[in-house]
Amino acid sequence: MIDESFQWRKEYAVHDLTESSFPKLMFDVGAIYLHGYDKEGYKIFWFRVKLHTKDSKTQFEKKKLVAFWLERYAKRENGKPLTVVFDMADTGLSNIDFDFVRYIISCFKVYYPNFLTKIVIFELPWVMNAAFKIVKNWLGPEAAALLKLTNKNEIQEYITAEYLPPYMGGTDAFKYSYPPLVDDDFQTPLCENGPITSEDEAECKEVDTNNKDNTDTTEEQALNSKKANTSEQTPKSEVCDKLDSKTKNAKKALTTFKGSLLHISPAEELHFGSKETAEKKCLIVLTNVTKNAVAFKVRTTAPDKYRVKPSNSSFEPGTSVDIVVSLHGGCAASLQDRFLIMAAEMEQCSGIGAQELSQFWKDIPRNKVMEHR
């Protein structure tokens, strides 16, 4: 199996696949893409079957496109499983390509094992019942158990209305378009004082607030290298008193992600508790492990639900910064909610102005940015 996987990676040049590896039309069609999450919080890999046609001339490119999305997801999410949805609404026999379907199954069985949580098939036409039995045989008994046949009344057993289009009975207003690629759902969270009108304004306000907080603390930072220059003037003991027990526990989290620029704690999950014992604040601790200042941003898939402070700033080498994540109003945390921390090394000192920091993010090459989800 390992030899087969290596051979496949070589044949499809999987490691080197980028957007530019494909004709723009392949992305324009919108037949294959990543978007949204299922009820268990797993990313959804969509196949819009009615947009597929069997064509030997494009077969290899379509297979490469599947590899592109899977490899892109694997690198970004560190092997977290995903859910496949075959949207078969308005499809006919002309849309079914058995060789392509078999290839998709092989990708999960051989090349990305343990990546698949379930296969949700939406509105399988009755004329394809015989074809469906063939597919089940290809899957084998274990994988076949992951198949979920659904219609408009049943699909919400697996995916909430939030991530389903209206024709599936959902409320998701998402409309596929390209460019850019559609798999990045992260946006700017709410600032500490409420909604903001744009990402640039969010960054400027956040940085200005941080810099104001930092003005009178330079001497103290020199004496205490573990206090980041983005900390508020409020004594840390008072901050801890204000945070609830869950937040304090997060401060002592045992899990730490050790990246090239930052150590991030907790490593993967924020625990806000159940609805009955809902905690409203959690803490993320960033530690700069480089020899230079590091700029960072925090993004979320639910910007209307969370306040994050600071969400965009920079700090010195060897120091740490506490990021307070607060649930807004009567909102409840969900497994589908995700946070993205972006970081990049800076040549200049931290504490630069809002405009300079905004320009820094515009100029920095993508391959210089560390991302942790």
Other beta carbons within 10 angstroms of residue 90's beta carbon come to 13
What is the mean predicted confidence (pLDDT) over 290-308? 86
pLDDT: is 168 or 258 the higher one?
Answer: 168
What is the widest separation between alpha-carbon atoms in the chain? 76
Task: Provide the pLDDT for residue 206.
Answer: 45
CB 156 within 8 A of CB 172: no
- Give Cβ neighbours of residue 199 (< 8 Å, ≥ 6 apart): 187, 188
Q: H/E/C letters for each residue in 219-245?
A: HHHHHCCCECCCCCCCCHHHHHHHCCH
| pLDDT of 248 over the 70 cut | no
Q: C-alpha angle 181/184/189, rounded to 5°? A: 140
For the ranges 195-199, 282-286, 317-321, the lowest mean pLDDT is seen at 195-199
210 or 372, which is more confident? 372
Who wins on pLDDT, 167 or 78?
167
Which pLDDT band, with edges at 50, 70 and 90, does 61 fall under?
A: very high
Amino acid 202: pLDDT:
46
pLDDT at 276: 59
In this prediction, residue 87 carries a pLDDT of 96
Q: Name the residue with higher pLDDT: 294 or 208.
A: 294
Given this model, what pLDDT does residue 279 score? 65
User: What is the pLDDT at residue 94?
Assistant: 86
> 41: closest CA among 269, 249, 253?
269
| Cα–Cα nearest to 287, from 324, 260, 250 | 260
Asked whether the predicted pLDDT for residue 194 surpasses 50, the reply is: no
Sorted by sequence, the CB contacts under 8 Å of residue 81 that are 6+ apart come out as 42, 114, 115, 116, 117
Q: How many Cα neighbours within 13 Å face the side chain of 40?
A: 11
Q: Please name the residues in contact with 170: beta carbons below 8 A apart, sequence gap of 6 or more.
A: 156, 159, 160, 161, 162, 163, 164
pLDDT in tens, 261-280: 999 998 888 887 655 555 68
More confident residue, 317 or 245: 317
Q: Report which of residues 65 and 259 the model is more confident about.
A: 65
pLDDT at 4 exceeding the cut of 60: yes
Share of the chain above pLDDT 90, in %: 31
What pLDDT score does 351 carry? Answer: 62
Over residues 38-60, the pLDDT tens digits come to 999 899 999 999 999 888 889 99
Question: How many other CB atoms are there within 10 angstroms of residue 68's CB atom?
Answer: 21
The DSSP-derived string for 275-304 is: STT---EEEEEEEE-SSS-EEEEEEES-TT
The predicted model gives 171-196 an average pLDDT of: 68
Q: 195-242 pLDDT, tens per residue? A: 433 444 444 444 444 444 444 433 333 333 333 333 333 344 444 444
The yes-or-no verdict on residue 151 having pLDDT over 90 is yes
Phi, psi angle pair for 288, to nearest 5°: -80, 115
- Give 235's contacts (C-beta < 8 A, 6+ positions apart): none
> Is the pLDDT reported for residue 330 higher than 60?
yes
Give the helix ranges, DSSP H, for 107-198.
129-144
Would you give the DSSP letter of residue 127? Answer: G
Helix (H) or strand (E) run with residue 306 in it: strand 306-309
Half-sphere exposure for 324 (CA within 13 Å, toward CB)? 20
Where are the alpha helices (H) located in the chain, listed in sequence order?
2-11, 24-28, 59-77, 98-106, 129-144, 199-214, 218-223, 236-242, 245-251, 354-363
pLDDT of residue 230: 35
Among candidate residues 326, 43, 42, the one with its CA nearest the CA of residue 189: 326
Q: Is the pLDDT of residue 310 over 90?
A: no
At residue 66, does pLDDT exceed 90? yes
Handedness of CA 164, 166, 170, 175 (dihedral sign): positive
pLDDT for 104: 92
For 72-78, what is the mean pLDDT? 84
Domains of the chain: residue spans and CATH: 1-168 (3.40.525.10), 257-350+360-372 (2.60.40.10)
Give the integer Cα–Cα distance in Å for 83 and 39: 10
